[in-house]
Amino acid sequence: MAAYEDFASVYDIFMDNIDYDMWIKYLHKIWQKFNISPNLIAELGCGTGNITARLAKEGYDMIGIDISEEMLSVARNKAYEEGLNSILYLLQDMTEFELYGTVDIVLCLCDSINYITDYSDLVKVIKLANNYLEPGGLFIFDINTEYKFKHVLGNNTFADTEDNAAYIWQNYYDEDKKINEYYVNFFIGSDDGLYERTEEFHYERAYSLEEIKKAITEGGMVYEASFDAFTFNAPTETSQRIYFIAREHGKETGGK
């Protein structure tokens, strides 16, 4: 079963502990630090639109891209209910995404990059981001670190229950292959009071700092910086999430 098919219906329930507003504030700080004032933004792996919608409410023109039709369906419904009809949601694989023109910023957050388990595909995504960015535009993305996979998630089992849903998450990290596997059983309540059980497999790859820097260069972009998440401090051996900033390279700026 593809990742996020059944999870899409309860994703926001289980993610209600994430402070998305704080994530947005951090993005603004990054834009200010790197002297960019975006108008049009594309988000890869946008999921149910929690980042995309918040930025749209602030007046940015937004494009949300995701490979999961189910996640996009939730995102579109939320946008409709909130009157955010200007958001363009596209059903696309981020390794092959296409836009109608260039954008000021490409985002890829919530460790969506880790789902790219093949290094050559990672380079491909970076090349595409560079291609669709305005001169001097930024590609901003984050990753879960190997430290998190190895020492926080590890070979453990997690569980959570909400009013109408529950999950049991069995985690396994393969240190040799650098692959973190999530095997998740979902129990989703129905109107008749019964619960339907479904399962999903998720795979994320651990990338080192140097691997990401190399991929940025091979993808034709300029590596600007990496930060321990939500700070402007350099990553450490115990960082659990790292943000990367890469700048578009190769287009003429027109003297701007």
Q: Which two tokens stand for residue 82?
A: 């909130």
Q: How much is the pLDDT for 189?
A: 72
Q: How much is the pLDDT for 9?
A: 56
Give this prediction's pTM.
0.91
What is the rounded CA–CA span in Å between residue 102 and residue 94? 16
What is the rounded CA–CA span in Å between residue 107 and residue 44? 6
Closest CA to 54 of 14, 9, 20, 17: 20
The amino acid that residue 249 corresponds to is: H
Closest CA to 6 of 192, 181, 196: 196
State yes or no: pLDDT of 145 exceeds 80. Answer: yes
Q: How much is the pLDDT for 169?
A: 86
What is the rounded CA–CA span in Å between residue 186 and residue 253? 50
What is the rounded CA–CA span in Å between residue 102 and residue 130? 9
Closest CA to 150 of 90, 212, 224, 240: 240
What is the rounded CA–CA span in Å between residue 239 and residue 84? 35
Closest CA to 106 of 86, 136, 67: 136
The mean pLDDT value for 85-93 works out to 96
The count of other CB atoms within 10 Å of the CB of residue 79 is 21
